Structure 1
Amino acid sequence: MLVAEALTVGHRPDRPIVRDVDLRVAPGEIIGVTGESGSGKTTLARTLAGLLTPTAGRVTVDGKSPRQARGEIAMVFQSPRTATNPQFTLAQIIAEPARIRRTPTPDLTALAGTVGLTPDLLTRRPHALSDGQLQRACLARALAQNPRYLILDEPTAMLDAATTATIIHLVASRAAQHTGVLLISHDTPLLEVACTRIATVHAGTLTPHEVSPR
């Protein structure tokens, strides 16, 4: 289970961005998080992924620290332009985790097809791709890691309705294979359809919704 306990994060102790948050994501669950821009959603996501160090509290991944569990959490960032190397081809972007870990290269054509990208796009670089295509490549890169937990920060913000439906179906399929998912979105109706539970971040604090959508 991915667990945050009394989690507080911030550059200044007197002005935390995230404060005293408790959150649990079990394998097979899709947990939705919504809230206004600047409320602390992305900071929470980055801390759960082990990219930021808490000021107080802790994060554990199946009882281990995020550092010990490296590779078990994959994150899709809100801005694909800043999350990819502009010199890499699409194929290199998707295969990057395998290269870093020196593991076998996954079937890139199959991964691209899974997220709705055609094989001819694999040789292109980010400048020749739309934001939506690049975001789908980032999702393929995350899935290539076969993570136990998947953190998605506004993954469908740059996608049309049809592609959004495809991606959410794919995320649900991963959850059915016992991947725990944290899905951050401003689209509350989307979260109500896709998620097991939903919580709202406001001024850095997390409040569960009273009604579970499923």
Structure 2
Amino acid sequence: MAALPTMRPLGCLRTLFRAQDAFQPQMSRRFISTAYSKRPERVPLPPNLPQQFLSQLPVRMQPQNASKPVKVYPAPPSTSKACKDPVAKITESQLAVLDPKGERKALFDYRRNTRSVKPGDIVRVTFKNGDPFNGVVLSIKLRGIDTSFLVRNELTRVGVEMSIKVFSPNVQSVEIVQRAERKPRRARLYYMRSRKHDRRSVENLVASYVRQKRAFLGGKRQQ
């Protein structure tokens, strides 16, 4: 049986909920706004005001506590125009102190100098404090003042690696004991850490090099 027309609004609650939903956004749009008012300027005190009236004023409004003008100093001259690349300037100044003749820089610049130290060479590094370290050069990192090279050797049947800073004040000398037999195909010989390609100890080669060097220097002194 169909519902009577007069009972349809009472029997359908969806129309009531829809009316509430339609009325809710209108309520959320209502807001209160305030008009912006400019801050009033401070009115100066009249001259020759008696002391008895000054004592009644707040502390911040008394003449002795009035705000004083702030002195603005000019900005210092910018150094960006005088020195556009400060890092390069600092690097050059440090290299002038640590390597004034440029010998160490040329010794490890394997990209430009053909007689420089290359990966695969056996070197002997002498320090001002401590014993010398011998080994095979595995890699060379050209990073300006932070240039370093990695040396590997075997001491008491244990593989030992040392990363040495080229421009360190503690490094006294770097000598090339033996050149690589052939030019390696890689710039980093990390595969020599494996048992198959490891050079083992190079102390015998370095010891013979030191003996030859002493004999040569001794014969030169006798002359």
Instruction: Name the TM-score, length of structure 1 as normaliser.
Output: 0.21
More strand by share: 1
Q: Which has the higher contact order (CA 8 A, sep 6+)?
A: 1
Bigger Rg over Cα: 2
Instruction: Name the TM-score, length of structure 2 as normaliser.
Output: 0.21
